[in-house]
Every structure is written in structure tokens, then in C-alpha cells.
Amino acid sequence: MSIEPRQIMVSGVRVQVLRKGIKNLHLGVYPPHGRVRVATPLRVSDAAVRLAVISQLGWIKRQRAKFAAQVRESQREMVSGESHYFLGRRYRLRVIECAGPPTVAVRSRFIELQVRPGQGKTQREAVLELWYRRQLKRLIPPLIEKWQPILGVTLAAWGVKKMKTRWGTCNAEARRIWLNLELAKKPVRCLEYIVVHELAHLISRHHDERFVATLDKHLPQWRAHRAALNAAPLSHSRWRY
């Protein structure tokens, strides 16, 4: 059970408060702009939430400063010479116009994008995104097959889609997860962390003690993977997990 999120102001900080059926209060600060969110048990009052936020104001400010300093990718123009990322590595884009079907290939330090003459930014982006999607769909199944028996869960379905605010989502009732297309740009260990994170929601829907204990037991280095994911360059319109 959860209640619709609401906003409160605490010492000039806007805080999103989400009340749901959990045991403990959890406070988080999220990139890119330092959004503050508190997940709290249903019985906890606004006054108690305010006290919890006030006690962590120093940490909140430090997190926000860290996010403000985070490297971000510039707006992509899809022209030769600009930087693009694949599996955590930076490549230069090389655009080749020629007849024939569009293709993408990694060659040494370059991502080579072959397109038909006259195709503009939108068409070039679509070709590259389709390639990213295919790469993720190749990488994800072995990870799911590896982690299902380890966690003792069974997934009914999974998919890849563009998401603005999450690296992944899990519908525990349908036993289905979605993974963000942007993960194709991040290191494989980050992709694996998100796969495990979402599969763990089949054990516990919330980020509660049971959920954390599951990650600690089966992927003890998960915090390092999360840090690596959050340290990677952000797309110009992305926030992080």
C-alpha cells in the first residue's frame, strides 16, 4: 500500500514524500539536479520527516554539489568527430554516407555509422539507437539466465525501452522487467547490477532491509557497481540510479 507522493519544503529544500508499507524511513538525493525524496512508513508524520531531512542537510548539500560537478555529454548532433559511448568506452563517431542499408560497426576507436546520403540527425539517431537496442538484447539474456537460479526467481518477460527517470523497472506481479536503452553506453558490470537489482524486486518490491540483504548476499560489490554507474558521463537529458 502506498499514498500519492506529496511535496513539502524543509529549510528551503523541496522534498518529495512517499508514504508506503515499509518499516523504516529512507532518504535519497537523485541526479542530475539533486531531487530529494523520502520514502517513509505510513504512520510517520510530516514533522518527523522534517526532522530527518534537517538532520541530513549537510549530506544533502554535499550530494547536490557532487551532482552539479558531474560530467555531462553535450547535445548530440550526430556528426563525425563527436564522442559516443558503448559499454563504458568512449568512441569517436565516423559518419559515412553511401547507398545501401544503414549499418553501425565498432572499428578501433570509432563507431562507424553508415547512412544514406541526405539522412539527417533524427534518422542517424534512430539507426544508432536501433544498434544499441540490438546490442543490449544480445547481452541481457545470459545475465538473466545466470542470475535467476542464483536468486531463486523466474522472470516471465523482459524488454528494453527508453526511460527518462529510471535505469530499470520491475512489475513484480507480472514478473516482468524493463531495462533502459541508455545502459548500452555503460560498462557491462553496471548493466549486470541493474539486472540483479530488478530481479531482486521479485523477492522484495521495495528497497527495504530484505532487498538490501539480497544484494549484499549475492552481489556484495553492488555499491561499487552503482558508484561506477553514477560516475559515468550523463547524457544531456538523463539522471542516474
pLDDT tens by residue, 178-233:
999 999 999 999 999 999 999 999 999 888 889 999 999 999 999 999 888 876 55
pLDDT value, residue 192: 97
24 and 112 assigned to the same domain: no
Instruction: Please name the residue that has the C-alpha cell 513484480.
Output: 172
Task: Reply yes or no on whether the pLDDT at 75 is more than 80.
Answer: no
37 and 95 assigned to the same domain: no
223 and 105 assigned to the same domain: yes
54 and 96 assigned to the same domain: no
Domain membership of residue 134 (yes or no) is yes
Domain membership of residue 1 (yes or no) is no
Task: Reply yes or no on whether the pLDDT at 120 is more than 60.
Answer: yes
pLDDT tens by residue, 130-189:
999 999 999 999 999 999 999 999 999 999 999 877 899 999 999 999 999 999 999 999
| Overall number of domains in the chain | 2
pLDDT tens by residue, 6-40:
899 999 999 999 998 888 898 988 766 788 999 99
Long-range CB pairs of 5-9, under 8 A, 24+ apart, other chains included: 8/46, 8/49, 8/50
Alpha-carbon distance 27 to 10, whole Å?
A: 13
**Strands 157-161 and 83-86, sheet pairing:** unpaired
pLDDT value, residue 241: 44
* CATH code of 122's domain: 3.30.2010.10
Domain membership of residue 74 (yes or no) is no
Domain membership of residue 110 (yes or no) is yes
Predicted TM-score (pTM) of the model is: 0.72
CA distances from 85 to 53, 73, 168, 184 (A): 36, 10, 19, 8
Q: Within 13 A of 131's CA, how many CA atoms are on the CB side?
A: 22
